[in-house]
C-alpha cells in the first residue's frame, strides 16, 4: 500500500524559558538559561540544588481547579500544551470526526510528583494509611493521554509511550506511522514531564549524572564544553498536531513541515551509558534517513541529544562523524538542552518544536555556555556556539537517546505538496 504523508499543523509548549511556543522560541534565540534554585522542594541537603523549573505556570489559566486537582502536574502540562497546539492548528474540534483523532504522548516517569507527595505525607503522618481516591489516576502514566481524550472526546488511538529520554520521540514516531497507515487523520502527540522531585534529583545525583555547579546554575548546562559535569533537570511539555497531508490541505491548514521519517534502535550495550562508539545512534539516524528516502547529504541541521554529560556528548559526535563524514562540516548542530535543561521524556517534543521554528524562520538557535570545546570532539564543526546561525533549513533531524539504550531520530523536511 502507498503510505500517506504526515504534516505538522499545530504546536504547543511549556518550557523553563517560556510558556507558549513564541515565548519559548524568542528565549531560545536570545540564549536565555532556564536554570535556577529548586523551589519545588527544599534541596539544601542534596548535591544538586538547582534545575530548570517552569516559571509562572498557573494551572487556573488552563482548567478548572477541581479538574486540576485530579491530575499530576505532568498531565496538567500536557493538557495545557494541547490547548495551545489545537488552537494553533485551526482544527474545528467540535465538528471533526473524533473517531479519527488520536492522542499519543510520551513520558519517562509519569505521575512522579503525586507519588512523591503522597510518600512524604505517609511518612510525616506516622504511616497512617490515608490516601487520595485520585492517587492512582495521578500516578498512572496513561492518564496523560486519557485526560486529553476525555477533555475533547477524541476516540482514536490513545496511549502513552515510555522509553526514558526518548519517550516523546517514540510517541511522535508511532503517531506518524498510524497516520501513514490510514488509522487516523489527526493525532495529538508529544511529551510531558514533571520529575523535579526529591527521589529523581537524589537518584540522578547518586548516579553522578547531574551537574553540581550550584554556585553558577545558569552556566551548568554546557554541552560539548570540556568543563561539563552532567546534565540539568528540566520540566515541561511539548505537543505537536500531526495530520494526514490531504486532510490538512482540504481544510486549508497552515503547515509547519512534513514529518518524513523516524528511526529507532537499541544500543544493547549498557543500562545507563551509551555505546561509546555511538553504534545505536548511527542506526537510529540511518533508519530515519532511509524511512524518508533521503541521504546524509540532504541534512542541513541536527538538533542533538546533547545532554552535557561526559560520555553522551562524545558518543553522539562519534555517531554523527561515522554517518555523515565530511558533510558534518556543512551542517549546523546545537543543543536545546543548554538552555532548557533535560526535560527527560518530553525532550524530543520541545526540541522538535525548536527545529520547526528554525525551518519557519531560517535561523538556528545557539548552544549556550560552550566556552571551551572538548578536545575529544570535532573541532571544525558548527555547534552554533553562543550565537544564532542564519541558515535555510530544508531537512533537519532530532536525536534522542535514553537510559536502557533507547534511541529515536525524527526527521522533518520543508513541506512541498
Yes or no: say if 13 and 238 are a contact pair by the CB < 8 Å rule: yes
Phi then psi dihedrals of residue 269, to 5 deg: -125, -50
Catalytic residue among 40, 52, 74, 165: 165
**How many Å apart are CA 101 and CA 387, to the nearest integer?**
40
Task: Answer yes or no: 365 catalytic.
Answer: no
Alpha carbon 233 to chain centroid, angstroms: 13
Q: Which of 40, 247, 283, 305 is catalytic?
A: 305
DSSP 282: H
73-89 and 143-152 helices, crossing angle to 10°: 40
Strand 301-303 and strand 332-334: the pairing is parallel
- Sign of torsion, CA 298 303 308 311? negative
What phi and psi, each to the nearest 5 degrees, are found at residue 331? -100, 165
Helix pair angle (279-292, 310-324), 10° resolution: 50
Is 317 among the catalytic positions? no
Closest to 63 (Cα-Cα) out of 152, 154, 135: 152
Catalytic residue among 40, 283, 342, 406: 342
159 phi/psi in degrees, rounded to 5: -165, 175
363 bridge partner residues: 390
- Residues carrying an active site annotation: 165, 305, 342
Amino acid at each position: 500500500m502507498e503510505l500517506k504523508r504526515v504534516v505538522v499543523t499545530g504546536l504547543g509548549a511549556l518550557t523553563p524559558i517560556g510558556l507558549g511556543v513564541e515565548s519559548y522560541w524568542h528565549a531560545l534565540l536570545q540564549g536565555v538559561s532556564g536554570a535556577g534554585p529548586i523551589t519545588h522542594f527544599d534541596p539544601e541537603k542534596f548535591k544538586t540544588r538547582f534545575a530548570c523549573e517552569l516559571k509562572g505556570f498557573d494551572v487556573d489559566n488552563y482548567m478548572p481547579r477541581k479538574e486540576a486537582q485530579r491530575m499530576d502536574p505532568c498531565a496538567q502540562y500536557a493538557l495545557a500544551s494541547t490547548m495551545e497546539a489545537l488552537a494553533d492548528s485551526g482544527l474545528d474540534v467540535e465538528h471533526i470526526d473524533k473517531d479519527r483523532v488520536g492522542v499519543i504522548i510520551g513520558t519517562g516517569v509519569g505521575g512522579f510528583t503525586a507519588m512523591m507527595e503522597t510518600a512524604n505525607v505517609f511518612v510525616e503522618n506516622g504511616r497512617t494509611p490515608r490516601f487520595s481516591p485520585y492517587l492512582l489516576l495521578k500516578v498512572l502514566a496513561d492518564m496523560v493521554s486519557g485526560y486529553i481524550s476525555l477533555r475533547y472526546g477524541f476516540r482514536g488511538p490513545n496511549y502513552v509511550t515510555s522509553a526514558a529520554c526518548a519517550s516523546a520521540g517514540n510517541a511522535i514516531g508511532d503517531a506518524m506511522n498510524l497516520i501513514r497507515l490510514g488509522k487516523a487523520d489527526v493525532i495529538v502527540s508529544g511529551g510531558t514531564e514533571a520529575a523535579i522531585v526529591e527521589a529523581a534529583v537524589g537518584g540522578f545525583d547518586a548516579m553522578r549524572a547531574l551537574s553540581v555547579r550550584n554556585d553558577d546554575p545558569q552556566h551548568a548546562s554546557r554541552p560539548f564544553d570540556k568543563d561539563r559535569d552532567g546534565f540539568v533537570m528540566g520540566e515541561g511539555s511539548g505537543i505537536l498536531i500531526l495530520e494526514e497531508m490531504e486532510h490538512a490541505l482540504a481544510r486549508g491548514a497552515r503547515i509547519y513541515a512534513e514529518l518524513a521519517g523516524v528511526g529507532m534502535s537499541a544500543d544493547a550495550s549498557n543500562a545507563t551509558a551509551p555505546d561509546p562508539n555511538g553504534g545505536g545512534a548511527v542506526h537510529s539516524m540511518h533508519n530515519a534517513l532511509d524511512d524518508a528516502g533521503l541521504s546524509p547529504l540532504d541534512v542541513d541541521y541536527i538538533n542533538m541529544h546533547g545532554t552535557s554529560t561526559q560520555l553522551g556528548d562524545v558518543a553522539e559526535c562519534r555517531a554523527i562523524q561515522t554517518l555523515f563524514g565530511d558533510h558534518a562540516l556543512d551542517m549546523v548542530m546545537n543543543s536545546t538542552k543548554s538552555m532548557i535543561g533535560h526535560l527527560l521524556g518530553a525532550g524530543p517534543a520541545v526540541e522538535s518544536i525548536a527545529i520547526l521554528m528554525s525551518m519557519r524562520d531560517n535561523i538556528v538557535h545557539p548552544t549556550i555556555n560552550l566556552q571551551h570545546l572538548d578536545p575529544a570532539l570535532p573541532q571544525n564543526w558548527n555547534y552554533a556556539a553562543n550565537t544564532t546561525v542564519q541558515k535555510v533549513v530544508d531537512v533537519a533531524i532530532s536525536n534522542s537517546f535514553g537510559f536502557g539504550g533507547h534511541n529515536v531520530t525524527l526527521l522533518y523536511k520543508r513541506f512541498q505538496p
